[in-house]
Structure 1
Amino acid sequence: MAAEECESSQAKATHARADEEELAEELVEPNQVVARSADGTRFYLYTHQAGGHTPFLRSANGSVCKPVIALELQFYEALGRQFPQLRPFVPQFLGKVTVELSLPSSVAPSPVHTTCSPPSSSASSSPAEPTRAAKKMRTGSYGKKRRLVKPAPSSSLTAAMSADGYSAKLWKQERAKKSKRYPSSESSGGPVALTRSDSGNSKDYLMLGDLTRDFRRPCVLDIKMGTRQHGEDAPPAKVKSHSAKCAATTSLALGLRLCGMQIYDEREEGYAIWDKSWGRQLTASDIEPALETYLTNGSTLRWDALERLLRKVQQLRHVVGNTTGLRCWGSSLLLVYEGDRRHAMSSVDVRLIDFAHCQMSSSLETPDEGLLLGLTNIDRYLSNIVARRPPEAGAGASVASTTATLPLAI
């Protein structure tokens, strides 16, 4: 009897998830203005988000916006005074803004004529083309890989990415949950809140510099850092669940866990995205091949980007090794390189992000050992890949990859 009830509960849960995903697909509207501030500034979904639990927004002027968490706000406000050495390795803090996150369903989606970052001189300023249906990849043994539409050569990636990017996925899920909870709101033309909270339609957001600003086709990897993810204020239940997650993944042993990535495939002229479910299934022996896959956009391993990323990781490791008074519980490391070799081929960036659970105290007299462990291992893995560079590939060259990379999808 108990077994039958368990199977029945599992079946109901499966059907509920399927219904929620189906509803989410019906609710999404690419290129839609999803929020406005008091001064009328429009906000859209941030198209290059590679990880996280809540959808990021971008303002019409190009800043990236994420929900305010008290500790993270305190970190950014104290950064210049307490940890100036970290400023080159974290996003630029531009302040905070209160936005209205509810829009009447009668409001038509607004075409996007501004990209998530100001276009470079080599990029066309023409509006993005209408979004086409995205192609989905089958789920493989290492999680989900999704193929996005091929962007028009003369347009921005905004339309293509909004259709099926990671932020859009999170936004669709939140909107679907809200619509299921209050089904009469949409049918009556009322507002549908886009927040997790049921009270109030406005929310404070941090405004940060866009790390993909100078990239035309950014390839992004989000790595959860450290051996511990919960903050000092976490309740016992969360401490238990987060500790179990660290033990069950590569976090505890390596001080890192791959959370998600997007890669621009030069052969297909489109993006592929791997989500957090893929990262949680990776073992220690999978990390180095996965990093090589990240650095292989199509059939070419980007030795130029690899060498520059490695140098920045080593610089950050040195800075963290000399920083006390800080613990970056649950923070991530973001790696970015230019996927279009015709545009600023050498552009790369390495930044620490997500400080919602950080701890700042003068009593912390040693560096963050968990973060250092993760950086040391990333340094080691990238150095191993560099050591395999064939003789015909000079410094800064890109050649066809001959090393077997991780079969991330089938």
Structure 2
Amino acid sequence: MMTFYKNDGQLVEIKPFVHQVGGHTCLFEITQETVCKPYQEREFQFYQNLPENMKDFTPHYKGLVGVKCCHDNDSPTFYAEVPGYILRNTEQQRYMQRSDEVKSGLNNWSVSCIDRQIQRNGFWSDNGDQKFIMLGNLVGSLRMPCILDLKMGTRQHGDDSSEEKKKLLKDRCAQSTSATLGLRICGMQVYQAETNTYLSYNKYHGRALDDNGLRQDLRQFFHNTGSLNIREVSRMIQKLRRLHHVLSTQDTFYFFSSSLLLFYDGYIEDYQNYDQSKQTTAYSEQISDKSEEDLSVSSSSRDLPEGCKMEKADDGNFYPFGCDDVSGTADARMIDFAHTVLRTDVQEHQAGVEEGILFGLVNLIDILQSIADG
């Protein structure tokens, strides 16, 4: 990474984010801990008004930065004047080591997004800086990130969409798993430990899937070794149940066209001697005895992992909290808030927005539970 000094910040060369699997805007990696994406006013306002109970389910907001594009021999190079507090704790040596480990099979989606931003949207046409939002790199600590980008909900057009855009997105939902399941694959990469490569799918693959195809891809996502990674499936179910509880009780935002990012570390130390049979299914069994109709769980916590506690929600059901399994890496975060709007800014109820997202979450949890149950 080349670094130059300018005023009180550092002018840093940034690279396309190699682990971007979906989306239509470009992502750059500033450091191993920080990425940035083009500024959108509504997304900025979302992070400015983010409730405390949603911070475990979104990327960490780190501020704004200007990004400049320079053309050298027709090959664009990108620079950002990064504040010192972003660079201060950067582990550059570990960053370089991890960069050398990136395997074949990644789809370079970020590069195509950058080309589209420049060609279609006219980014950097005036040779000036473009404003970007800095966010925590959700997979920065993972050695071989397995990532799944899901578009959530049965409705994906924003209240600010044009009539033409609304029709396009309505048709896209109606012709895909968005209509039947409330979720659609927008991109996926899975590290294959057996071949030391990545398997990648893009949004066009996701649009063509039927319900059964989506279920198969979800199983494949957690199947990066010789058999199912049950520990990560169970941990993911746990996180998604907590997210369902938070979204079903929040009254701050309408989430138009947001996505859900699922991820875990596919790296396995000494894979040649790895014994998949040692994975336990006990944890999966602990969370499987639930009514998927309302996601309720037993009010007893004596069988939950250490640290878990049950909390009663406004709907009268009990949900597990504080149950993170430190031996696993699976996590889920909501992303893409360019069309998210404060409910106080919308005069009438936007039917089908939060209901569609919750419908998608219930179906996602149900599918993952069926995968865990075998």
- Aligned residue pairs total 302
Match of 1:276 in 2: 203
CA shift for structure 1 position 348: 1.5
* Aligned-partner residue type, residue 350 of structure 1: A
Q: What is the percentage of aligned positions where both structures have the same residue?
A: 30
Q: Distance in 2 between matches of 1:42 and 1:109?
A: 7
Match of 1:94 in 2: 62
Q: Does 1:256 align with 2:238?
A: no
CA shift for structure 1 position 44: 1.0
**Aligned partner (choices 323, 329, 348) of residue 330 of structure 2:** 348
SS in 2 for 1:291: helix
Distance 1:64 1:161, change over 3 A: farther
TM-score by length of 2: 0.72
* Aligned-partner residue type, residue 43 of structure 2: E
CA shift for structure 1 position 165: 2.2
Match of 2:140 in 1: 213
CA shift for structure 1 position 56: 0.4
CA shift for structure 1 position 384: 0.6
Stretch moving more, 161-170 or 229-238:
161-170
**Aligned partner (choices 366, 385, 397) of residue 371 of structure 2:** 385
**Aligned partner (choices 296, 302, 305) of residue 229 of structure 2:** 302
Q: Does 1:169 align with 2:112?
A: yes
Match of 2:53 in 1: 85
* Aligned-partner residue type, residue 56 of structure 2: P
Q: Distance in 2 between matches of 1:244 and 1:307?
A: 34
Q: Distance in 2 between matches of 1:59 and 1:371?
A: 31
Kept after mapping to 2: 8 A contact 1:41/1:60: no
Kept after mapping to 2: 8 A contact 1:324/1:365: no
Match of 2:318 in 1: none
SS in 2 for 1:49: coil
Match of 2:47 in 1: 76
String of CA shifts for 1:327-383, please: whole Å, max 9, x gaps: 111100000011012298611111000000112123659981111011111011001
Kept after mapping to 2: 8 A contact 1:101/1:195: no
Q: Distance in 2 between matches of 1:164 and 1:307?
A: 28
Kept after mapping to 1: 8 A contact 2:59/2:136: yes
Match of 1:373 in 2: 359
* Aligned-partner residue type, residue 66 of structure 2: T
Q: Distance in 1 between matches of 2:203 and 2:137?
A: 22
Q: Distance in 2 between matches of 1:243 and 1:365?
A: 15
Q: Does 1:67 align with 2:38?
A: yes
SS in 2 for 1:101: strand
* Aligned-partner residue type, residue 68 of structure 1: Y
Once the two structures are superposed, the pairs formed by residues 80-229 of structure 1 within 5 Å of their partners are 83-105=51-73, 125=94, 127=96, 155-157=98-100, 160=103, 164-172=107-115, 177=119, 196=123, 198-229=125-156
Q: CA RMSD in A?
A: 3.2
Q: Distance in 2 between matches of 1:119 and 1:268?
A: 29
Q: Does 1:234 align with 2:150?
A: no
Q: Distance in 2 between matches of 1:309 and 1:369?
A: 21
Q: Distance in 2 between matches of 1:108 and 1:209?
A: 24
Q: Distance in 2 between matches of 1:106 and 1:245?
A: 36
* Aligned-partner residue type, residue 35 of structure 2: V
Stretch moving more, 195-204 or 274-283:
195-204
Q: Distance in 2 between matches of 1:64 and 1:311?
A: 27
Q: Does 1:46 align with 2:17?
A: yes
Kept after mapping to 2: 8 A contact 1:91/1:353: yes
Distance 1:243 1:163, change over 3 A: closer
Kept after mapping to 2: 8 A contact 1:47/1:162: no
SS in 1 for 2:49: helix
Match of 1:267 in 2: 194
Once the two structures are superposed, the pairs formed by residues 4-43 of structure 1 within 5 Å of their partners are 39-43=10-14
Q: Does 1:334 align with 2:261?
A: yes
SS in 2 for 1:321: helix
Q: Distance in 2 between matches of 1:385 and 1:229?
A: 27
Kept after mapping to 1: 8 A contact 2:103/2:196: no
Q: Distance in 2 between matches of 1:358 and 1:351?
A: 15
Q: Does 1:318 align with 2:239?
A: no
CA shift for structure 1 position 202: 1.9
Q: Distance in 1 between matches of 2:366 and 2:160?
A: 33
Q: Distance in 1 between matches of 2:233 and 2:148?
A: 13
String of CA shifts for 1:150-187, please: whole Å, max 9, x gaps: xxxxx535765798522123335556x48xxxxxxxxx
SS in 1 for 2:99: coil
SS in 1 for 2:138: coil
* Aligned-partner residue type, residue 72 of structure 2: P
Kept after mapping to 1: 8 A contact 2:148/2:261: yes
TM-score by length of 1: 0.66
Q: Distance in 2 between matches of 1:255 and 1:125?
A: 39
Q: Does 1:58 align with 2:29?
A: yes
Q: Distance in 2 between matches of 1:106 and 1:71?
A: 33
Question: Per residue, is there more strand in 1 or in 2?
Answer: 2
String of CA shifts for 1:29-77, please: whole Å, max 9, x gaps: xx999xx997412211111111001220011463110001111000001
Structure 1 unaligned residues grouped into runs of 5+: 1-30, 111-116, 129-154, 179-193, 389-410
SS in 1 for 2:262: strand
Q: Distance in 2 between matches of 1:249 and 1:264?
A: 26
CA shift for structure 1 position 89: 0.2
